[in-house]
Amino acid sequence: MAYQGEQKLDAVNSLKVKQAEGKSKDDENLEIAQQTRYNDGSVKLRNPNIELMDQDILYHLALGSGSHDLHEMFGDVKFVCMGGTPKRMESFAHFIMDEIGYKLPAGTQLQDISAFSYRYSMYKVGPVLSISHGMGVPSVGILLHELIKLMYHAKVKDPIFMRIGTCGGIGVEGGTVVITEDAYDGLLRNSYELAILGKIVHRPAVLDKRLVRELKSLATHDDPYDTITGKTMCTYDFYEGQGRLDGAFCEFSETDKMAYLEKLRDFGVVNIEMECTIFAALTHYAGIKAAIVCVTLLDRLKGDQVMAPKEVMNEWQQRPQILVSRLIKKHLAQMGHLKSLASTPSSIKSPRRFKLVQQESEAHE
The answer to whether 119 is annotated as binding is yes
Tell me whether residue 359 is annotated as binding. Answer: no
Question: Phi and psi (nearest 5°) for 328?
Answer: -60, -45
Q: Would you state the pLDDT for residue 357?
A: 73
Instruction: Confirm if 363 and 77 have CB atoms less than 8 A apart.
Output: no
Dist CA 68 CA 72 (whole Å): 9
pTM of the model: 0.87
Q: Other CB atoms closer than 10 Å to residue 311's CB: what's the count?
A: 8
Which pLDDT does position 8 carry in this prediction? Answer: 45
Q: For the chain, list the domains and their CATH numbers.
A: 41-335 (3.40.50.1580)
Determine whether the annotation assigns residue 111 to a binding site.
Answer: no
pLDDT tens digits, 83-96: 999 999 999 999 99
State yes or no: 101 annotated in a binding site.
Answer: no
Q: Which residues contact 114 (CB under 8 A, 6 or more apart)?
A: 60, 61, 62, 63, 120, 121, 122, 131
What pLDDT is recorded for position 292?
99
Round the average pLDDT of the chain to a whole number and report it. 91
pLDDT at residue 211 above 50? yes
E runs forming strands in 215-286: 227-234, 269-273
**Known binder of ligand: residue 244?**
yes
> Do you know the residue count of the chain?
365
User: Using one digit for the tens of pLDDT, what is the confidence trace for 312-356?
Assistant: 999 999 999 999 999 999 999 998 877 645 444 556 677 677 777
Is the Cβ–Cβ distance between 241 and 320 less than 8 Å? no
DSSP 302: T
Residue 163 has pLDDT above 50, yes or no: yes
List of residues 6+ apart from 214 with CB closer than 8 A? 327, 330
Contacts 24+ apart (CB under 8 A), 82-85: 82/131, 82/132, 82/133, 82/140, 82/143, 82/161, 82/162, 82/163, 82/164, 82/279, 83/130, 83/131, 83/132, 83/133, 83/163, 83/164, 83/165, 84/132, 84/133, 84/134, 84/135, 84/165, 84/166, 85/132
Q: Is 166 annotated as a binding residue?
A: yes
- The average pLDDT across 169-188 equals 98
242 appears as a binding residue in the annotation: yes
The pLDDT, as a whole number, for residue 347 is 62
Quick one: average pLDDT of 137-147?
98
Per-residue model confidence (pLDDT) at position 105: 85
Beta strands in 30-149 (DSSP E): 57-58, 63-64, 79-83, 122-125, 128-132
Each residue's pLDDT tens digit, 107-121 = 889 999 999 999 999
Q: Which range, 6-15, 37-46, 254-263, 339-348, has the best average confidence (pLDDT)?
A: 254-263
Strands 160-169 and 79-83: what pairing? parallel
167 burial (CB, 10 Å; 0-12 / 13-18 / 19+) is buried
Neighbouring residues of 95: CB distance < 8 A, sequence distance ≥ 6 = 318, 321, 325
Backbone angles phi, psi at 124, to 5 degrees: -115, 125
Residue 282 reports pLDDT greater than 50: yes
Q: Is residue 175 over pLDDT 90?
A: yes
Residue 3 has pLDDT above 50, yes or no: no
Confidence class for position 281, pLDDT limits 50, 70, 90 = very high
